[in-house]
């Protein structure tokens, strides 16, 4: 092998190593875009984890807890009756619709599909209707009259819509930073894809032989695919160890809940890594089968 061959071999080795790094990065970025940056991912996961019903229960407990039992005794109602009445207006479907709307707004904002994000929720009509329903049944007045009384006295101080960002003063600044990070991530993902195409072209130009090219690309990609598949199995444990210090075992949000929520991301990485393994095996098989087919054709001649 001459000096030219050594130089070509060196560059091919460098390109292959870069390719082995770029392809797993591209697969993981694809998985993130297919899961964490898709509104449908959150709707599916929250539904499967029964999150909407839990949020509904939390809201009902919160609102019921803020009403004095003495205030209810004036109309002869109990907190249990109040909670039951509120459950007819603050329903699971309403919580789901409002959550979906806000999540869609957040994702569209993060992925630069909208200029702003809407964090407001129209909770006042729901509270008014629930309280009015209870008052009407206890006082023997019409629902419309009860609603007028409730809206003027009990819920008059509640803004409509209620901007959730008022409860988290720094949230909009944090979202702006997050949007910038997501934008850089999306740009990097596009650069990595272009880089993979360029590396494949360079490797082919340096080999100028289909058999050598498929073998040179296939074997390293097979190794990369297997390693990425193993990594996808180890990811839940790695993420769990990272989250454990931040999530006490007795908290509302547990490490296992977070892992279950992210499970589709890990599964997507696994599926794409297995696809990479299959493609790599086909490339390696071609590199061995093609010369045999060619030799067989020459023998027949």
CA distance linking residue 123 with residue 159, whole number of Å: 9
pLDDT at 170 over 70: yes
CA distance linking residue 15 with residue 192, whole number of Å: 13
Pinpoint the alpha helices (H) of the chain.
Answer: 3-34, 39-48, 51-65, 69-73, 79-87, 92-110, 124-139, 143-153, 171-207, 210-243, 255-300
pLDDT single digits (tens) 256-285: 888 999 999 999 999 999 999 999 999 999
Distances 72 to 58, 62, 138 between C-alpha atoms, Å: 20, 16, 10
pLDDT single digits (tens) 16-28: 999 999 999 999 9
**Residue 159 φ then ψ, to 5°:** -70, 150
pTM, whole model, 2 decimals? 0.85
CA distance linking residue 301 with residue 270, whole number of Å: 46
More confident of the two residues 248 and 107: 107
User: Which structure tokens are listed for 174?
Assistant: 């944090």
Please answer whether residues 291 and 280 qualify as being in contact, where contact means their C-beta atoms are separated by less than 8 angstroms.
no
Kindly list the domain boundaries of the chain, sorted by start residue. Answer: 3-37+174-300, 40-110+124-160
Q: Which of 139-153, 175-189, 248-262 has the highest mean pLDDT?
A: 175-189
């Amino acid at each position: 092998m001459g000096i030219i061959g050594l130089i070509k071999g060196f560059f091919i080795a460098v390109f292959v190593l870069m390719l082995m790094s770029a392809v797993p990065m591209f697969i993981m970025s694809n998985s993130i875009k297919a899961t964490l940056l898709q509104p449908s991912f959150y709707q599916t996961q929250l539904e499967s984890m029964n999150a909407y019903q839990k949020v509904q229960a939390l809201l009902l407990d919160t609102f019921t807890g803020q009403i004095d039992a003495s205030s209810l005794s004036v109309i002869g109602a109990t907190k249990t009756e109040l909670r039951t009445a509120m459950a007819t207006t603050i329903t699971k479907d309403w919580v789901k619709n409002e959550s979906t709307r806000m999540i869609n707004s957040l994702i569209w904002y993060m992925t630069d599909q909208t200029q702003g994000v809407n964090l407001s929720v129209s909770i006042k009509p729901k509270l008014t209707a629930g309280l009015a329903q209870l008052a009407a049944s206890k006082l023997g007045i019409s629902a419309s009259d009860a609603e007028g009384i409730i809206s003027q006295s009990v819920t008059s101080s509640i803004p409509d819509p209620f901007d959730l960002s008022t409860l988290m003063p720094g949230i909009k600044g944090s979202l702006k930073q997050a949007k910038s990070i997501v934008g850089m991530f999306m740009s990097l993902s596009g650069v990595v894809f272009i880089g993979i195409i360029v590396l494949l072209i360079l490797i082919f130009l340096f080999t100028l032989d289909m058999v050598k090219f498929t073998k040179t690309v296939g074997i390293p990609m097979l190794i990369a695919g297997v390693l990425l598949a193993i990594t996808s199995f180890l990811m839940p444990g790695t993420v769990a160890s990272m989250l454990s210090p931040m999530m006490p075992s007795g908290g509302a949000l547990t490490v296992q809940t977070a892992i279950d929520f992210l499970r589709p991301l890990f599964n997507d990485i696994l599926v794409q890594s297995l696809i990479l393994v299959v493609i790599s095996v086909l490339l390696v098989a071609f590199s061995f089968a093609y010369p045999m087919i060619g030799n067989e054709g020459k023998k027949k001649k």
